[in-house]
Amino acid sequence: MPVEFSEQNIYELLKNIYIRFKPYVENKEIDFIFTYDQEDFIACVDVENLTKVISNLLSNASKFTKDRIELILDSRNNKANTFTIIVKDNGIGIPENLQQEIFKPFYQLPDTRNSGTGLGLYLVHSIVDTCSGNVFVESTEGAGSSFYVVLPRSQSGFIQKKNESSATTYFPENKASVMQIPESLSIKETTETDRATTSLLIVEDNQEMIDFLRESLEEKFRILTAENGKAAIKVLEKNEIDLIISDIMMPEMDGVEFCNTVKSNFLWNHIPLILLTAKTNIVSKIEALEKGADAYVEKPFSISFLYAQINNLLENRKNLIRKFTETPFTSLKSIAGNKADEEFLNKVNEVIEKNISNVDFSIEQLAEELCISNSGLFAKIKNLSGMTPNKLLLLVRLKKAAELLQENRYRINEVCFMVGFNNPSYFSKCFQKQYGLLPKEFMQSRENTPQL
């Protein structure tokens, strides 16, 4: 296991973990207390791996405690040049004869078979051992457990410098593991503008997995989260979402039902949806894809692979929109991602063309003819095409103008009025801005193009 030691303020490190876990723990009506003996205690630790250790212990405690968790920093053992971090709960406790078994891989206590993968405490033990420390538990059945992590205050030598080409593996205690494996995949860099406007909704009931995905993706995307499908619906009702990443196994509304709800909803069915799951059987995959999932990623997964899936889905939509906007004869339905969107866009195009010569035709009239609200129309068109309804209306008028100009049956001024412009000069300016040619130049270019 690659590690990288650096001198850190342990109080600050634990305080940050405490602050991150506090809302999650208190939401479960659990008292969460952080105690420490000094604020300026410095030790040589691997920040990333120590964070994983404490996060796993807190996650376990939150699952098995009754109503109280304590995170304790004890730095008083100066003679031994060590310090101790304690995670304490008042939950079900662990039988004495099983207290050594829990640190073995895949081991689960008899009454906790559905609580995780049995890898969290094994990971804790592996990390602490690699850092020349010790971890043990003191527990009484029915009275709770205290996990002690004892680490050296200083390191005589680095075990191994972290190498960017090395693989690091992260095993959340709950559900299946995630594997970070650097790959030779080309990941498209996201600009600051994209980062500010591209929103990802992560639907996951495991807080550790949410934290991991947020940490991995927040530099490139705006992240919103929900603990299950039911909560995710509320997020969708209040926010514009560009892509959804959802677990399958969740309470209240699982990922498959959530996927079906999203893909059946007129306002959301265009949103690309990636399902994450530990289920690897073909029946589960078929069910997910039949409900409209755009991608299916099995756990454990490479974060690079997940990035590639996200970027591919987003880039595919951008490419469709780019082709539609830049090519005069590409139809509006070409930007549809599914049959429902294709039907909607065909209807939009039909209504606009029916009123194409009406200079006063408005978005309000379009919404009325489509039998949807103005806000619903705005959200749907904006999410589907990346442009406002007014911009889309203008673009459909210009595409119709290109068709009429190609026929070479009408003068440019006639075409201008036929597609709902009342000013030929403004029409020419809009046409040139969109296609890079004045209407007259466009007609000439079509005359010189061989027809098949």
Six-digit token pair at 400? Answer: 């119709």
Give the model's pLDDT for residue 287. Answer: 65
What span, in angstroms and rounded, lies between the C-alpha atoms of 390 and 388? 5
Please answer whether residues 63 and 32 qualify as being in contact, where contact means their C-beta atoms are separated by less than 8 angstroms: no
Residue 263 CA to residue 83 CA, distance in Å, equals: 53
- Report how far residue 88's alpha carbon sits from residue 147's, in angstroms, rounded to the nearest whole number: 6
Rounded to an integer, what distance in angstroms lies between the CA atom of residue 131 and that of residue 110?
30
Q: What is the pLDDT of residue 73?
A: 94
| Cβ–Cβ under 8 Å, residues 221 and 200 | yes
Rounded to 10 degrees, what is the CA torsion of 200, 204, 210, 213?
-50
Please list the helix, strand and coil fractions of the chain in percent, rounded to the nearest 5, in that order. 45, 15, 35
Name the DSSP letter for residue 102.
Answer: G
Q: Quick one: pLDDT at residue 179?
A: 32
Are the C-beta atoms of 349 and 333 separated by less than 8 Å? Answer: yes
43 in Cβ contact with 83 (< 8 Å): yes
DSSP symbols for 280-299: -SHHHHHHHHHTT-SEEEES
Ordered per-residue pLDDT tens for the chain, 452 residues? 677 889 999 999 999 999 988 888 888 889 999 999 888 999 999 998 999 999 999 988 988 898 999 999 998 765 568 899 999 999 888 888 787 788 877 667 666 544 555 577 888 888 898 888 889 999 888 889 999 999 999 876 543 333 333 333 333 333 333 333 233 223 333 344 344 468 899 999 888 888 888 888 888 898 999 999 999 999 988 888 889 999 888 888 888 889 888 888 877 888 889 988 766 556 666 666 666 788 888 877 778 888 888 988 888 878 888 888 878 888 888 887 777 788 888 888 899 989 999 988 888 888 888 888 887 788 788 777 778 888 888 889 999 999 899 888 899 999 999 999 988 888 998 898 888 889 988 888 766 554 43
CB of 65 closer than 8 Å to CB of 29: no
Q: How far apart are CA 101 and CA 122, in angstroms?
A: 10
For the packed helices 363-370 and 339-354, what is the interaxial angle rounded to 10 degrees?
130
Per DSSP bridges, beta strands 31-36 and 68-74 are parallel
pLDDT at res. 341: 80
Q: Pick from 175, 238, 167, 236: which is nearest to 201 by CA?
A: 236
**Amino acid identity of 258?**
F
Per DSSP, the three-state class of 446 is helix
Burial status of residue 381 (CB atoms within 10 A of its CB: 0-12, 13-18, 19 or more): buried
Residue linked to tokens 């027809």: 451
Peptide bond into 300 cis (omega under 30): yes
How many other β-carbons are positioned within 10 Å of the β-carbon of residue 22?
Answer: 13
Query: HSE of 411 in the Cβ direction (CA atoms, 13 Å)?
Result: 3
Nearest partner of 389 among 420, 363, 369, judged by Cα: 363
The pair of structure tokens assigned to 207 is: 């807080």
Q: Are strands 6-9 and 42-45 parallel, antiparallel or unpaired?
A: antiparallel
Answer for the pair 20, 130: CB distance below 8 angstroms, yes or no: no
- pLDDT score recorded for residue 202: 93
HEC string for 349-392: HHHHHHCCCCCCCCHHHHHHHHCCCHHHHHHHHHHHHCCCHHHH
CA distance 17 to 92: 24
pLDDT value of residue 285? 63
304-322 residues labelled b (16+ CB within 10 A) or e (exposed): bebbbbbbebbeebeebbe
Contact present, 142 and 155 (Cβ < 8 Å) = no
3 state DSSP class of 264: helix
**Which tokens in the block code for residue 385?**
């095409």
